[in-house]
Structure 1
Amino acid sequence: MRQLALATALATTLLSAGALAQAPQDGAGSLGARISPDSLRGHLSYLSSDLLEGRATPSRGLDLAAEYIAAQFRRAGLEPAGDDGYFQTANWQYAQRQPGDLALTVNAGGATLNVPHGGASAGFLDPLSLAATPAVFMSWKAALEDGGAANGKVLVVPAAPVPGAAATLQKQLKSKPALILMVDRERRHSRSGDGWLIDPEQPVVKGAPPVVLLHAADAAAALEKGGATVAASVKPPQVRPVKLRNVVGLLRGSDPQLKNTYVLLSAHYDHLGIRDGEIYNGANDDASGTVAVIETAAALAAEKERPKRSIVFIALWGEELGLLGSRYYGRHPVFPVKDTVANLNLEQVGRTDDSEGPQVASVTMTGFDYSNVSDYLRKAGEQTGVRLWKHPKNSDMYFARSDNQSLADLGVPSHTLAVAFGFGDYHGKDDTWDKIDYDNMARVTRTVALALRNIANDSSKPAWTSVPNAAKYLEASRQLHGGK
């Protein structure tokens, strides 16, 4: 812990406490002048450095990042709002198998394929011993409609790029396979060291068939052709306690009544960690969003006049594993959900090289027309010269794929802001800090700061609209506020 504290302190002192950018050539005024490309670069080059080893959940690098973010909140003068200073702590467990604890053999067409260590992973606690058993490959639709063809067999399905897919399949299956193999050739769900988190609040699905993720391409191809058998031996994992921490700071509002209502600005600070010996630094995803939260907090805290509502700044863990940190906050809110008027969540705000073409002086938002939050951002963008736009497909499609979803499900108008929905190094090892457009990132961050301040100063609060895709969130809001 001493080394952790020293490393964090050293990184913090590398940033000049008194440095302000030259006044930007936009309408952000003194607030914008406090948001500097150089300061953004300084924060981001540390959070996405090799020292932090990709910020996997859980990891030493993630802990270093949490300490650094807390140090910046402390430096800005935010009130600590967690159960342990700035930290909201989840006491979970981490399970991990060692090499040799999982053995998988596929026999197809007379050939025997032994899946190597790392070619498959299993996220269950009980041991498994399965003799050679016929395998049947199905699409998800066919598997969910199957009335018994997979009974006692190995059910092989494609892995779905959705968190919680395995549990969903376990709950909805009508048949009773001996084992489920989810083919995951792109390693979407791979975990460093074959480890996984155990949430003590989530019930275990009793009697559910065990699920193994298969990453080995040759074994996957053989199973997809059909006519194969699978044998498996899985030993129990080692289990240890872990502390996972959201970092939460409060800028208390100035209005006697409105200060007891809250606007949240969030971003996730975790990434993918180390894969196959390579560090996945996650500069744009999502060190950029985290740094924009840090810089916005410092800028607003330095203003002479506090906003009327209180503003909560929160860095979230475990987004890459299925919105885990924000889901935890939703179950254990630091501030009452019914008094939380909006959540702006930041993702990928540093890169302008969108896979569909450059995005300079522009920002987009998920669930664009689900609420009137877009009105605040559009007006702020008019002052800073940043265009707010709706992607015709991704705006709706990506609404549920980031941490805004956790509060949206509870009825709070919540959206994710991004500059680029997709970019060439997305979830790749080359998403590094030198590829960030810091001038553009500063302008986008100024836009966020202005919109956040305007929401906090408005006596009216953001509301869901009546568009069909927002219907369930509008209903959740009515339930949250007693049917109103």
Structure 2
Amino acid sequence: MKKSIMCLIVMLMTTTVPVYLYSQKFPGSVNQITSSDLESYITFLASPLLKGRLNGDEGLEIAAQYIASQAKLTGLKPANGNSYFQPYNVLKKSMDPDKTSIQVISDSKDTVIIRDPMFQLIPTGPSDLILDGEVVFAGYGIKADKYKYNDFENLKTEGKILLVMNRAPMSADGKKSKFEEPAWSSGMGFQIKLTTLLYSKAKAILIVTDPKSGFRSFEEANPGIAGYIKSAITLKSDKEEKTNPFMAAMPKLIFINRSVADALLKGSGYSLEELQNSIDSTLQPHSFIIPDKLLKITEVSVSEDKVLKNVAGYLEGSDPVLKNEVVIFSGHYDHIGASGIKVNTGADDDASGCAALLSMAKAFQSLGKKPLRSVLFLWVSGEEIGLFGSKSYVNNPLFPLDKTVADLNMDMIGRDKELADSTSETPMTGPNSVFVIADNQSKDLIKIADEIDSKTPLNFDYSLSGRNHPLQLFSRSDHYNFAQKNIPVLCFTTGIHSDYHTPGDVIEKIDFKKMETITRTMYKIGYAVANRKTRLVVDNPFNSWGKSK
């Protein structure tokens, strides 16, 4: 949605330095940004041959080389000395399948050894551990006072291993929760019950897909998430997780296959299907200690040093003084790899943002007179595993952070709600609007953006903006690391669709005309900021954001 503001932006003159107030007229270079160019870039980046651009894999390296070659072709200068690459070191951990197992031990000392994949969410990814103990079936793992439902009532969980189903009490066909909020029928329900589970003082929590879901494994139900949990990557310079006592005290949270639940419940008098049907039909918990069974989990990980890289090219500014300042356009070129034989091509997430940067670079290079400030185009990796590329950049910047004027981020800008499902948990914009993720960090930047928006057919929607929005989009993309350094930021996104992190995120569903409009709009914002006589004022530093909207 548009905001009503005063028209305070830089006026473009033919031979003089722009001043703050200006008529909204941009050079013809904006027409260099075309839907056909955007489509050509995404066609390559979202090709199944790149196997989903998984961090640490060959497909990501191919994408990096392609982006660097295109940056050079447009005439961008390499930003890291003579190189377009900014490498950083990570540690990749995966489970040793021969040494990792789950053992179900009965009172008769019979042992069932299961080597099916398991996916550890807390701490994220493979680790080295041995834990054993008594197992408690805790239904859905929900405490919902509104519905007078509590799977933990009169249940001792401290020091136990909990077995719980995902989702919530469901209808007979398994398509809708019996709890009225839409979140309980979706993956958001897991977020709601997570707090209760993590403070249960259990030793570990095993999550199994409920029978009505139709899935027997976590990998079937959540292929994208499973893909990047399977091999955890951490920044070698980041020791926070290892030293965080809060995380160390948390129960281990592990997604398991149905075969483990079946082995645990065998001989208990109940199958998982029977337990679910009983709970769902009566809305009464059916929690109990699984008799005559102990569980032992052994995880052994293997580590491998990896080098990831950001790609960076820049256009030098024309002003002898202001060229030492820089405006950054950013987007991430990594994705989540394949789900079995199906490739998650990530056409929208975020080949769309990467393509937009390449198109904007071409437009900037076509200018007769370059902008006053330098402009850096930054394609980062590691976004899908913790915003690592942008974190590495702000810790080792190619331009000084105190000379960095703004970061303008593009993440998933190619879709609209007509091509994908949209619910309150997965909001999307229509064909003529875009979500703007920002805050009251710099009123100057918002004024510039809104004035430009008022002259375009695009409508800005700020409804997902702000640090405290439940979807947390402000902290889920690379602009966040710049915001933490008190650099003004904006992020464009068209929203979270039903194909998010699935093989359905394909180029055929991209709205290229809408994407062209979005990219041209961001180009104009960056152009205005780069040509502004004075720097953007940071009205609300990051540490003061308790006062922000």
- Give the shorter-chain TM-score range: 0.7 to 0.9
Aligned counterpart in structure 2 of residue 46 of structure 1, from 41, 44, 47:
44
Q: Deviations for 1:116-135, whole angstroms, at most 9, x for unmatched residues?
A: 52343485776433344345
C-alpha contact (below 8 Å) 1:128/1:232 kept by paired residues: no
Instruction: State the partner residue of 1:380.
Output: 452
Q: Secondary structure at the match of 1:458?
A: coil
Aligned counterpart in structure 1 of residue 482 of structure 2, from 389, 402, 407:
407
Instruction: State the partner residue of 2:255.
Output: 214
Call closer, same or farther: CA 1:126–1:273 in 2, change over 3 Å.
closer
C-alpha contact (below 8 Å) 1:119/1:214 kept by paired residues: yes
C-alpha separation between the residues in 2 aligned to 1:263 and 1:349? Answer: 20
Instruction: State the partner residue of 1:18.
Output: none
Deviates more, 1:60-69 or 1:363-372: 363-372
C-alpha separation between the residues in 1 aligned to 2:165 and 2:529? Answer: 43
**In percent, how many aligned pairs have the same letter?**
27
- The one-letter code of the counterpart of 2:75 is G
TM-score (norm 1): 0.77
C-alpha contact (below 8 Å) 1:139/1:157 kept by paired residues: no
C-alpha contact (below 8 Å) 1:47/1:65 kept by paired residues: yes
C-alpha contact (below 8 Å) 2:90/2:308 kept by paired residues: yes
Structure number with larger C-alpha Rg: 2
* TM-superposed deviation, 1:449: 0.8
C-alpha separation between the residues in 1 aligned to 2:531 and 2:335? Answer: 34
Q: Secondary structure at the match of 1:89?
A: strand
Call closer, same or farther: CA 1:415–1:104 in 2, change over 3 Å.
farther
* TM-superposed deviation, 1:450: 1.0
Q: Secondary structure at the match of 2:414?
A: coil
C-alpha contact (below 8 Å) 2:87/2:307 kept by paired residues: yes
- The one-letter code of the counterpart of 1:385 is P
Instruction: State the partner residue of 2:179.
Output: none
C-alpha contact (below 8 Å) 1:27/1:383 kept by paired residues: no
C-alpha contact (below 8 Å) 1:40/1:291 kept by paired residues: yes
* TM-superposed deviation, 1:389: 2.6
* TM-superposed deviation, 1:43: 0.5
Call closer, same or farther: CA 1:243–1:178 in 2, change over 3 Å.
same
Instruction: State the partner residue of 1:31.
Output: 29
- The one-letter code of the counterpart of 2:243 is V
Q: Does 1:457 align with 2:531?
A: yes
Deviates more, 1:256-265 or 1:287-296: 256-265
* TM-superposed deviation, 1:336: 1.5
* TM-superposed deviation, 1:371: 2.9
CA RMSD of aligned residues (A): 4.0
C-alpha contact (below 8 Å) 1:27/1:384 kept by paired residues: no
Between the two structures, name the one with larger relative contact order (CA 8 Å, sep ≥ 6).
2
- Give the total of aligned pairs: 436
TM-score (norm 2): 0.69
C-alpha separation between the residues in 2 aligned to 1:96 and 1:76? Answer: 39
C-alpha contact (below 8 Å) 2:96/2:300 kept by paired residues: no
C-alpha separation between the residues in 1 aligned to 2:50 and 2:392? Answer: 23
Call closer, same or farther: CA 1:299–1:206 in 2, change over 3 Å.
closer
Instruction: State the partner residue of 2:173.
Output: none
- The residue correspondences of 1:35-434 to structure 2 (distance < 5 A) are 35-82=33-80, 85-105=83-103, 117-121=116-120, 127-135=128-136, 152-154=159-161, 178-179=203-204, 181=206, 187=222, 189-191=225-227, 194-203=230-239, 204-205=242-243, 208=248, 211-216=252-257, 225-228=287-290, 231-353=295-417, 355=422, 359-372=430-443, 373-391=445-463, 396=469, 397=471, 398-418=473-493, 420-434=494-508
Call closer, same or farther: CA 1:290–1:392 in 2, change over 3 Å.
closer
- The one-letter code of the counterpart of 1:379 is E
C-alpha separation between the residues in 1 aligned to 2:410 and 2:357? Answer: 8
* TM-superposed deviation, 1:381: 2.8
- The one-letter code of the counterpart of 2:533 is S
C-alpha contact (below 8 Å) 1:78/1:249 kept by paired residues: yes
Q: Secondary structure at the match of 2:131?
A: strand
Q: Secondary structure at the match of 2:65?
A: helix
* Gaps in structure 1 of 5+ consecutive residues: 1-25, 142-148, 477-484
C-alpha separation between the residues in 2 aligned to 1:244 and 1:190? Answer: 21
C-alpha separation between the residues in 2 aligned to 1:295 and 1:213? Answer: 42
* TM-superposed deviation, 1:293: 0.8
Q: Deviations for 1:104-143, whole angstroms, at most 9, x for unmatched residues?
A: 25689x99997652343485776433344345866799xx
* Gaps in structure 2 of 5+ consecutive residues: 1-23, 145-155, 168-186, 210-217, 262-271, 277-285
Q: Secondary structure at the match of 1:391?
A: coil
Call closer, same or farther: CA 1:273–1:36 in 2, change over 3 Å.
same
C-alpha separation between the residues in 2 aligned to 1:193 and 1:101? Answer: 18
